[in-house]
């Protein structure tokens, strides 16, 4: 089953310095059709203005994956970690028993990113932070695991959730077939481009919830950048 969440149907927020779209409802008055998908409870498409960002604030018992689409993300936290995450890089923060951090636009152009929240398998644990680049050439024509809570996903950043975060780049005319985990549920977002998923047309920045199918055929109608969470 495919449930198309079109860009214009997503909840939104505009704080001036932050413009956000929410693929999943983040408040009680959000779109009731955009509920959680297993451990996947938040997928925000954020645009942060130059010189702005989120001040120091706290999280606990959450796995937070950040995929930078454009610009330069600055990070600072109470573990003493500091980072500059560029487009194509991925950041993972395991909040565990509690962590405070700040995130801000360190560049000279609007910062665009996806922030994905996953429920951990278990509460608690030591907080942790990590980042690494994922060169786009390695994702050409195929999905690459960027972050994972499963053994055997070599090279992926670790998360403490039953999920995988994947990325792919498809040229116009290319197709890829992806077999889902045992839970047979996933959420796919078109970061750029236009695709078909089992015949369903999916436009730029749209999302699609995929449930109760073992695999999906994904075809690019134009050069496309894709990010997906295989939710178990």
Q: What CATH number did the domain enclosing 170 receive? A: 2.60.120.10
For tokens 């055997």, what's the residue?
152
Strands 82-86 and 72-77: antiparallel
Q: Cβ atoms within 10 A of the Cβ of 152, count?
A: 7
Strands 143-148 and 157-158: parallel
Classify residue 41 as exposed, middle or buried by CB count within 10 Å of its CB (0-12, 13-18, 19+). Answer: middle
Structure tokens at 106: 């360190």
Q: Is the pLDDT of residue 28 over 90?
A: no
Q: Go through 184-222 and write b for each residue having 16 or more CB atoms within 10 A of its CB, e for each that does not.
A: bbbbbbbbebbbebeeeebeebbbbbbbeeeebebbbee
3-state helix, strand, coil in the chain (%, to 5): 5, 55, 40
Helices assigned H by DSSP within the chain = none
Q: Is the pLDDT of residue 40 over 90?
A: yes
Cα distances (Å, whole numbers) of residue 135 to 71, 75, 86, 139, 168:
15, 20, 11, 7, 11
Give residue-wise pLDDT tens across range 180-196: 988 999 999 999 999 99
Range scoring the smallest mean pLDDT among 142-146, 156-160, 181-185, 191-195: 181-185
Taking the C-alpha atoms of residue 191 and residue 211, their distance in angstroms, rounded to an integer, is 20
> Is the Cβ–Cβ distance between 4 and 215 less than 8 Å?
no
Q: What rounded mean pLDDT belongs to the chain? A: 96
Task: Give percent of the chain with pLDDT exceeding 90.
Answer: 94
Parent domain of 206: 2-230
Query: Cβ contacts of residue 179 below 8 Å, gap of 6+?
Result: 214, 215
Give residue-wise pLDDT tens across range 88-135: 899 999 999 999 999 999 999 999 999 999 999 999 999 999 999 999
Q: Is the pLDDT of residue 14 over 90?
A: yes
Question: What is the per-residue pLDDT for 88?
Answer: 87
Q: Kindly state the average pLDDT of the residues 2-20.
A: 97
Total of domains in the chain: 1
Q: How confident is the model at residue 29 (pLDDT cuts 50, 70, 90)?
A: confident
């Amino acid at each position: 089953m495919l449930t198309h969440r079109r860009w214009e149907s997503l909840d939104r927020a505009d704080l001036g310095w932050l413009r956000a779209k929410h693929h999943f409802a983040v408040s009680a008055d959000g779109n009731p059709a955009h509920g959680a998908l297993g451990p996947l409870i938040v997928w925000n498409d954020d645009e942060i203005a130059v010189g702005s960002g989120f001040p120091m604030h706290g999280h606990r018992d959450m796995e937070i994956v950040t995929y930078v689409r454009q610009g330069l993300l600055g990070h600072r936290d109470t573990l003493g970690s500091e980072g500059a995450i560029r487009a194509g890089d991925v950041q993972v923060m395991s909040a565990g028993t509690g962590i405070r951090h700040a995130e801000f636009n360190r560049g000279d152009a609007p910062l665009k990113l996806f922030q994905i929240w996953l429920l951990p398998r278990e509460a608690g644990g030591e907080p942790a932070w990590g980042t690494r680049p994922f060169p786009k050439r390695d994702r050409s024509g195929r999905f690459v695991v960027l972050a994972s809570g499963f053994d055997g996903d070599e090279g992926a950043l670790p998360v403490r959730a039953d999920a995988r975060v994947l990325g792919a780049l498809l040229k116009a005319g290319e197709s890829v077939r992806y077999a889902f985990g045992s839970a047979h549920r996933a959420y796919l977002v078109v970061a750029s481009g236009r695709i078909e998923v089992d015949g369903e047309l999916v436009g730029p920045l749209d999302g699609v919830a995929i449930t109760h199918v073992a695999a999906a055929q994904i075809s690019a109608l134009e050069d496309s950048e894709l990010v997906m969470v295989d939710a178990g």
